[in-house]
Amino acid sequence: MNKILVLTGPTATGKSSLSIELAEKFNLEIVNIDSMQVYKYFNIGTDKPDNTILEKYPHHLISYVEPDEFFDVKRYINDADKIVENILSRKKIPLFVGGTGLYIKCFLFGIIAEESDDSKLREYFNQFSFEYLYSKLKIIDYKSYKKIKKNDKYRTVRALSYFYNSGKLISEIREQHKFQKPRYNYLKFAISFNREELYEKINKRVDSMIEKGLIDETVNLIDRGYENTRPMNGIGYREIKLFLQGKLTKDSAINLIKQNTRKYAKRQITWFKKENDITWINSQNKKSIFKKIENFLQDWLWLKILIFKTNFSTN
């Protein structure tokens, strides 16, 4: 079975910087597995690597989907499988990097049901208010209702359209993933931080995004007609949009971004802590993950040669 590496974990834990270090050391190719970084033009708010990094270390499946284009996990899996095949054919190892837990699980274990939500049904449901749809979901699929946060119309519509298209509850389908066999031989690891330190890193990163021009980027995206697209509903953009509409002050919008990002990180931590296939590593102890990766990839002769050459040249 083909081998891949997955670097995941909560937002702001330094996945991007560690992925570059690993790519250099082990001759890996980075593949994005963040559901927001797939969209073009949404750069600062999704914390994409800057152009200098992307030119030196090409990233797959990043900035390749139009903001107003429908994109889901099924398409991601199809695209990612092709990328993996290409990378492996060139005797390299894919390193998937991102914190979208659902995408990671579905990519590693597959989607059980062939049926998916229907575009015409989505269009039909989008005519109704979120409150009406949310109450409808509560009756039809209570488990999904409890997991979907308020005002998340996208996931509410998806759960409803999935049910009316397939006759199955999307919550039950996701439960079945617990019994699926993996599609790849993988090593999945995540960087661990204590809660207070992580929240401080989040606050600083939001300040950095504002300094880099998040407000100007949002204005530009709205001017280009992307105001009502899915990525515009992502954390950072939706709060700045409220500021631009005069519904929040600038400081209130920034503080709300920090608050919502911390809440998102908390949900990510809850998700990943439930998974028993993650190797948690301390950010200050990189040698331990280097050793684990070497052991995982030890049957690749070309990697042994590469490691020998690297060690020889640095001694």
Q: 117 with 79, same domain?
A: no
Domain boundary among 179, 202, 227: 179
Q: Quick check: 283 pLDDT over 80?
A: no
pLDDT 10s digits, 22-32: 999 999 999 99
Per-residue pLDDT, 249: 98
User: Which SS3 state, helix, strand or coil, does residue 126 take?
Assistant: coil
Q: 256 with 134, same domain?
A: no
Per-residue pLDDT, 242: 98
Q: Quick check: 314 pLDDT over 60?
A: no
The domain that contains 166 carries what CATH number?
1.10.20.140
Per-residue pLDDT, 114: 47
Domain boundary among 179, 196, 221: 179
The range of the structural domain enclosing residue 299 comes to 3-110+180-314
pTM: 0.82
pLDDT 10s digits, 67-101: 999 999 999 999 999 999 999 999 899 999 999 99
Q: 99 with 215, same domain?
A: yes
Q: 122 with 41, same domain?
A: no
Q: 187 with 278, same domain?
A: yes
pLDDT 10s digits, 145-197: 998 988 888 889 989 988 998 888 988 877 766 667 899 999 999 988 889 99
Q: Identify the band that residue 113 occupies on the pLDDT scale cut at 50, 70 and 90.
A: low
Buried b (16+ CB within 10 A) or exposed e, 120-155: ebbeebeeeeeeebbebbeeebeebbeebeeeebee
Which among 267, 227, 217, 225 is positioned nearest to 46, based on CA atoms? 217
Q: Quick check: 104 pLDDT over 80?
A: yes
Domain boundary among 136, 152, 179: 179
pLDDT 10s digits, 198-223: 999 999 999 999 999 999 999 999 99
Q: 202 with 295, same domain?
A: yes
Q: For Cα atoms 141, 143, 147, give the angle at the middle one, nearest 5 degrees.
A: 115
